[in-house]
């Protein structure tokens, strides 16, 4: 479906009577022209109509369709029959090596050429967009995907097919070729694409299968270039919006080597990508370029050995299999939610393109001007039926999210805007947001949950370019109980950032950090958090689920809190910004274990550390005395031992001496804070695994925590 906002000018000639007005340089009896502006929203729906035998209906007109939007009848103004089945003829297969192919330059563009009212360029044509995510494929997979595209263009294109070529390699979405039927041009573009470009954006995993490649890690885009999945989804959203300029049905064939959402990825970006595709009438047809994979239990030669105890317990093999399956789950969701179909575990990648080709054969384009012109961002449910034949089966998009228009607001309007944006089911993702959620046990029932939010400073530095001396960042969020569905707690705050020349220059190379905290009971929760730059009006959304475990029921291992990695301890009275809710912060800081001696430990979130600074590791262990524990074995007399190890290329690169600590005798939980300072200045930059080991000699219990980190110069 497609949405167009038109501006119509109606010239009304009126005879002016009476004397000439002062300052009016025309005769008193001259006619005057007035301009009347009317905004309308044209909604385009692609409808497939088939009878009970699966054959397409022909000869239908606008009068044969009944359309309602949220139950309100709509008047069909446009009805076009796109008949591709009758006109599609196979093109003669071109030779594998065609010496007559001319080499065309890859002239990257940022927009698809729209269809004008006078031109019928896309009428009765099938639109197929080949999208190569070079950042998500290794060279072997890139070669396999490009070979499949060449085979399709040479042997399986038909007379009604128009193909475009899009590429994403970590920076922006490039349109290498607009929709065309020129096979020589298409083959030239595909054959001149460089295998290996853009690849190297590995997934960030945190499990027993994590491997060390030792690759250097750049900070060209600040710490936020570890959020590869968010960027891949954002690029897909951009591509869908580009294709949304065309009314016809579009199929985007997405070549990638899996796409895995993990704990640090933003669920809101997946939602926004799907919504943008539905709104643009684009169906995603993901093709797993890895083909049929015969997996080695501990990974293939493209990654290093995990080098941990999971190799012997089976945990590494299980995690490796789970990672592979999860990398396909997101592709499956993209296809299922947009009307496409994913191709997995098949070495003939052209089948994925042919599936998309066969799915578009015969349909009707219906257009109506929505009677509801409110731009409130709400979901509009569309229902289409035939007025006469009730046995027909109709396939179409059953709704869309309306546009949301934010204007220049007063203070009251701005507050309402944030509330509306928080309630929107279609997330706004104009700002990049990263978040870390930790938990620490306060008592037998409650847990303190500190939350740290990071926003790239370069996105906020735009305000300084406009001459602003400060910018206000508004924050609003809520936490809901996933089981009951009720809102447990919320936050509304803002920070005022002073934009001096020095601060603005600093913002271009570092993120803005905002932290808050909540007290929660054990359970499963969902958090939705919004940030808005008041100077530019841009909004970002972060949405994810998290679990607060009940450590009282932990019997097999030593109960521990979240493990916090950081490279910053800041004085409480020093910050780039002034927070609005200072009193509430004092209350939070009184129970926040990350605040000690007037200094706060700031979690890294992205786990990217400079070798020029120390890495801080903080965790709490709990040793609650059980009812059957002997009196002689008091918690205070039984120490725990803990140490931190860094692994690089499967080998131990760094380890702290074991630290012994006894439970706090005044704590009913037997809380033991463990803090380590890691001097990493002697380590080479690259990827490492950080492992925290905690041992209890008295009970023979242990606990291990492991996560990947990145060291940069």
Mean pLDDT of 51-79: 89
pLDDT of residue 250: 92
Q: In 295-349, which ranges are continuous DSSP H helix?
A: 310-313, 315-338
pLDDT score of 165: 94
Tens-digit pLDDT profile for residues 596-647: 877 888 888 888 888 888 999 999 998 765 544 444 444 446 788 999 999 9
Question: Does position 24 have pLDDT exceeding 70, yes or no?
Answer: no
The CATH number of the domain holding residue 215 is: 3.40.50.410
pLDDT-derived band at 441 (thresholds 50, 70, 90) equals very high
What pLDDT is stored for residue 18 in this prediction? 36
Would you say residue 253 lies in a domain? Answer: yes
Q: Would residue 104 count as lying in a domain? A: no
**Region of poorest pLDDT, from 215-229, 351-365, 406-420, 673-687:** 215-229
Domain co-membership, 259 together with 163: yes
* Inter-CA distances, 418 with 85, 308, 532, 578, Å: 48, 46, 8, 20
* Residue 219 clears pLDDT 50, i.e. is over it: no
Instruction: Encode pLDDT of 362-406 as tens digits.
Output: 889 899 999 988 877 778 889 999 988 767 888 888 888 887 665
What's the full length of the chain, in residues?
A: 713
Closest by Cα among 567, 645, 644 to 609: 567
3-state secondary structure 34-97: EEEEEEEEEEEEEEEEECCCCCECCCCCHHHEEEEECCEEECEEEEEEEECCCCCCECCCCCCC
Among all chains, which residue has been given the structure tokens 């939070």?
588
Residue 508 and residue 486 in one domain: yes
Q: Which two tokens stand for residue 316?
A: 């590494």
Same domain? For 342 and 413 the reply is no
Last residue of a domain, one of 352, 377, 401: 401
- In this structure, the answer to whether residues 479 and 456 fall within a common structural domain is yes
Where residue 516 sits, what CATH number does that domain have?
A: 2.60.40.10
Q: Is the pLDDT confidence value at 8 over 50?
A: no
198 Rama class: left (phi>0) / alpha (psi -120 to 50) / beta:
left
Choice among 6-10, 150-154, 169-173, 421-425 with the minimum mean pLDDT: 6-10
Report the pLDDT value the prediction gives residue 504, as an integer from 0 to 100.
63
Give the pLDDT confidence of 638-671 residue by residue, as tens digits.
788 999 999 988 788 999 999 998 887 777 788 8
Examine the domain organization and report whether 269 and 412 are in the same domain: no
Q: How confident is the model at residue 295 (pLDDT cuts 50, 70, 90)?
A: low
Q: How many CB atoms lie within 10 A of CB 393?
A: 11
| Distances, alpha carbon 211 to alpha carbons 196, 309, 310, 321, in Å | 21, 13, 12, 14
User: 114 or 705: which carries more pLDDT confidence?
Assistant: 705
Q: What is the model's pLDDT at position 204?
A: 43
Q: Which tens digits make up the pLDDT trace of 664-691?
A: 777 778 888 999 999 988 899 888 989 9
Indicate whether 569 belongs to any domain.
no
- For the stretch 94-141, pLDDT in tens is 666 554 555 555 555 667 777 665 556 788 889 999 999 988 888 889
What is the rounded average pLDDT of the residues 278-291? 90
Q: pLDDT grade, residue 12 (50/70/90)?
A: very low
pLDDT over 70 (residue 212): no
The CATH number of the domain holding residue 666 is 2.60.40.3880
Both tokens of 257, joined, read 């080597």
Whether the per-residue pLDDT at 38 is higher than 70: the answer is no
Q: Residue 463: its pLDDT value, please?
A: 56
In this structure, of 189-203, 217-231, 334-348, 576-590, the range with the lowest mean pLDDT score is 217-231
Answer whether 644's CB lies under 8 Å from 706's CB. no
In terms of pLDDT, which residue wins out, 581 or 475? 475
The verdict on 231 and 308 lying in the same domain is yes
- How far apart CA 265 and CA 271 sit, in angstroms, is 12
How many C-beta atoms surround the C-beta of residue 352 within 10 A?
27
Q: Give the integer Cα–Cα distance in Å for 135 and 257.
A: 9
Q: What is the pLDDT, as a whole number, of residue 26?
A: 46
pLDDT confidence tier of residue 440, bands split at 50, 70 and 90: very high
Are residue 380 and residue 266 in the same domain, yes or no? Answer: no
pLDDT at 259: 78
In this structure, is residue 565 part of a structural domain?
A: no
Tell whether 337 and 380 lie within a shared domain: no
**291 and 385, same domain (yes or no):** no
Residue keyed to tokens 């729209």? 114
Same domain, 189 and 317: yes
Question: Would you say residue 45 lies in a domain?
Answer: yes
pTM for this entry: 0.66
| pLDDT: which is higher, 459 or 145 | 145
Q: Is residue 683 part of a domain?
A: yes
Q: H or E segment at 146? A: helix 139-155
pLDDT at 309: 55
Nearest CA to 74 out of 380, 321, 284 is that of: 380
Q: Is residue 66 domain-resident?
A: yes
Is residue 512 very low, low, confident or very high in pLDDT (cuts 50, 70, 90)? Answer: confident
Answer yes or no: is pLDDT of 433 > 70.
Answer: yes
Q: Who has greater pLDDT, 653 or 415?
A: 653
Neighbours of 213 (CB within 10 A): 14
pLDDT in the model for residue 7: 34
Q: How confident is the model at residue 431 (pLDDT cuts 50, 70, 90)?
A: confident
Other Cβ atoms within 10 Å of 300 Cβ, number: 10
Could you tell me which residue, 35 or 280, shows the higher pLDDT? 280
Q: Where do the DSSP E strands lie in 114-263? A: 126-133, 161-168, 173-180, 250-256
Number of domains in the chain: 4
Final residue in a domain of this structure, among 565, 597, 629: 597
Mean pLDDT value across the chain: 77
Share of the chain above pLDDT 90, in %: 21
Does a structural domain hold residue 678? yes
Residues 6+ apart with CB under 8 A from 129: 163, 164, 165, 166, 179, 239, 243, 250, 251, 252, 253
Range(s) of the domain holding residue 412: 407-557+577-597
* pLDDT reported for residue 132: 93
* Residues 67, 201 within the same domain: no
If asked whether residues 395 and 418 sit together in one domain, one would say: no
Residue 284 predicted with pLDDT over 80: yes
Give yes or no for residue 414 having a pLDDT over 80. Answer: no
Concatenating the DSSP letter of every residue in 482-514 gives TTT--EEEEEEEEEEEE--HHHHHHHTTSEEEE
């Amino acid at each position: 479906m497609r949405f167009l906002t038109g501006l119509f000018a109606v010239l009304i000639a009126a005879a002016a009577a009476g004397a000439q007005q002062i300052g009016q340089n025309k005769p008193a009896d001259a006619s005057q022209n007035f301009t009347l502006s009317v905004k309308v929203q044209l909604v385009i729906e692609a409808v497939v109509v088939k009878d009970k035998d699966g054959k397409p209906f022909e000869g239908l007109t606008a009068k044969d369709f009944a359309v309602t939007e949220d139950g309100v009848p709509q008047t069909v103004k446009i009805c076009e029959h796109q008949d591709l089945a009758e006109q599609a003829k196979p093109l003669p297969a071109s030779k594998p090596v065609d010496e007559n192919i001319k080499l065309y330059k890859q002239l990257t563009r940022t927009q698809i050429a729209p269809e004008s009212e006078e031109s019928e360029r896309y009428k009765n044509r099938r639109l197929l967009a080949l999208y190569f995510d070079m950042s998500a494929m290794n060279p072997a997979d890139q070669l396999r995907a490009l070979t499949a595209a060449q085979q399709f263009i040479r042997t399986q294109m038909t007379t009604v097919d128009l193909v475009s070529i899009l590429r994403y390699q970590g920076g922006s979405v490039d349109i290498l070729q607009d929709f065309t039927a020129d096979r020589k041009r298409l083959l030239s573009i595909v054959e001149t694409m460089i295998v290996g470009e853009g690849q190297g954006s590995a997934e960030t995993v945190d499990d027993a299968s994590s491997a060390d490649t030792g690759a250097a890690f750049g900070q060209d885009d600040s710490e936020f270039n570890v959020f590869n999945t968010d960027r891949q989804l954002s690029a897909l959203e951009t591509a869908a919006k580009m294709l949304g300029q065309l009314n016809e049905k579009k199929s985007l064939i997405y070549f990638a080597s899996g796409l895995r959402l993990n704990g640090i990825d933003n669920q809101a970006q997946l939602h926004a990508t799907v919504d943008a595709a539905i709104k643009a009438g684009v169906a995603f047809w993901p093709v797993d370029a890895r083909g049929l994979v015969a997996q080695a239990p501990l990974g293939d030669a493209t990654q290093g050995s995990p080098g941990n105890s999971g190799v012997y317990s089976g945990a590494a093999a299980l995690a490796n299999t789970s990672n592979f399956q999860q990398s396909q789950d997101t592709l499956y969701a993209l296809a299922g939610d947009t009307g496409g179909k994913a191709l997995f575990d098949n070495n003939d990648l052209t089948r994925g393109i042919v599936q998309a080709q066969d799915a578009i054969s015969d349909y009707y384009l219906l257009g109506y001007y929505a009677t509801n012109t409110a731009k409130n961002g709400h979901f509009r449910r569309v229902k289409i039926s035939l007025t006469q034949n009730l046995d027909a089966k109709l396939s179409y998009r059953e709704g869309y999210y309306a546009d949301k228009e934010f204007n220049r607001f007063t203070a009251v309007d701005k507050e309402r805007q944030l509330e509306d944006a928080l309630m929107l089911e279609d997330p706004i993702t104009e700002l990049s947001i990263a978040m870390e959620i930790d938990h620490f046990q306060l008592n037998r029932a409650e847990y303190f949950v500190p939350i740290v939010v990071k926003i790239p400073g370069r996105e906020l530095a735009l305000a300084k370019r406009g001459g602003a001396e400060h910018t206000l960042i508004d924050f609003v969020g809520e936490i809901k109980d996933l089981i009951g569905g009720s809102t447990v707690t919320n936050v509304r705050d803002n920070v005022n950032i002073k934009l001096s020349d020095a601060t603005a220059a600093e913002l271009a190379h570092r993120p803005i950090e905002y932290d808050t905290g909540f007290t929660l009971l054990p359970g499963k929760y969902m958090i939705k958090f919004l940030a808005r730059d008041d100077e530019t009006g841009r909004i970002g959304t972060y949405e994810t689920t998290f679990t607060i475990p009940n450590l009282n029921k932990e019997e097999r291992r030593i109960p521990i809190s979240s493990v916090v990695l950081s490279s910053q301890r800041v004085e409480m009275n020093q910050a780039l910004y002034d927070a609005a809710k200072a009193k509430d912060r004092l209350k939070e800081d009184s129970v926040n274990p990350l605040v000690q001696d007037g200094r706060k430990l700031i979690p890294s979130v992205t786990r990217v550390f400079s070798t020029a600074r120390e890495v801080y590791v903080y965790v709490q262990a709990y040793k609650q005395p059980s009812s059957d524990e002997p009196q002689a074995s008091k918690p205070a007399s039984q120490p725990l031992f803990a140490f931190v190890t860094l692994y690089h290329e499967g080998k131990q690169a760094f380890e702290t001496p074991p630290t012994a600590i006894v439970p706090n005798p005044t704590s009913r939980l037997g809380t033991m804070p463990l803090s380590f300072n890691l001097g990493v200045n002697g380590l080479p930059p690259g990827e490492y695994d950080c492992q925290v080991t905690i041992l209890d000699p008295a009970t023979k219990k242990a606990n291990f925590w492991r996560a990947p980190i990145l060291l940069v110069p």
